[in-house]
Amino acid sequence: MVKEERFTYILAVLNKKGKVGFDTLSKDLEVSEDTIRRDIEALHNNGLLLKVRGGAIAHAKNPINFQDRTTHFSAEKQIIGLKAQTLMKGATTIFMDGGTTNCAILQNLPANAKFRLITNNLALLPIISRLKDIELIILGGTYDRKTETNTGMQVIAEVGKYLADIYFMGTCALQKDFGITTALQQDGEIKQQMLKHTTKTYAIGNSAKLNLTEFYRVCELQDLEGLITDLPADNEALDPYRNNGLLIV
């Protein structure tokens, strides 16, 4: 079992039971306790759990009210958040749009993270309060209660004032031939503007978003720098996306 799969399993057990032990995980995953200790250490260092004697316990997280979505981030989104961190080194300005996966990226950052965040995603605000070194720029517009984002032409105009090093694009549908699509045109137009004004764009989404299409086309796969999912990078489900010049994370 590869590292990402172990991380997903450990976090899933934590979400269910609230605690895990080195010995039990070692037996369940058929790896050494030293391997489990290193996994727990990595997850602890990235804020995904609390390391204790003999194992780990779950964080007591402040839930984010995001309509009908779960109040706790899924293990899959936590894995994506952990992977995204490896791509943020040296970035000074980052775009994030709507969606709970971007919430998970911020939730999993270390407390000393430092960069400028430009976003229309108001669901990020409760998380940002603990990240004192992040400069936050909120893009104005018409507030959409269903998505907890600002939308409309004002957002699009304001995006054009900036240039970002990285854009983490939330996705609801991704397909090898039709690229990124979305069910909301206004969301798609904001994505297109952020894509234009960034150096590198990474599409983020769990494996359930793969091989799906919606009605509004955002961009081709070739327009992206990479794809971040909860799957191990060598998973066969990602094979259709390997010949598009994408970095698979």
Specify the pLDDT at position 72: 43
d(CA 82, CA 59): 16
Q: What is the pLDDT of residue 48?
A: 79
Which residue, among 127, 19, 27, 6, has the nearest Cα to 75 in the 3D structure?
A: 6
pLDDT given at position 59? 61
CB of 205 within 8 A of CB of 224?
Answer: no
pLDDT at 62: 37
Mean pLDDT of successive 10-residue segments in the chain (249 residues)? 87 86 91 92 79 76 43 72 91 95 89 95 91 95 92 97 98 93 94 98 92 93 95 90 87
Q: Catalogue all structural domains in the chain, each as residue range(s) with its CATH number.
A: 3-57 (1.10.10), 75-248 (3.40.50.1360)
Neighbours of 99 (CB within 10 A): 25
Q: What is the pLDDT of residue 61?
A: 44
| pLDDT at site 174 | 94
The alpha carbon of 195 is separated from its chain's Cα centroid by a whole number of angstroms, namely 17
d(CA 90, CA 77): 23
pTM above 0.85, yes or no: no
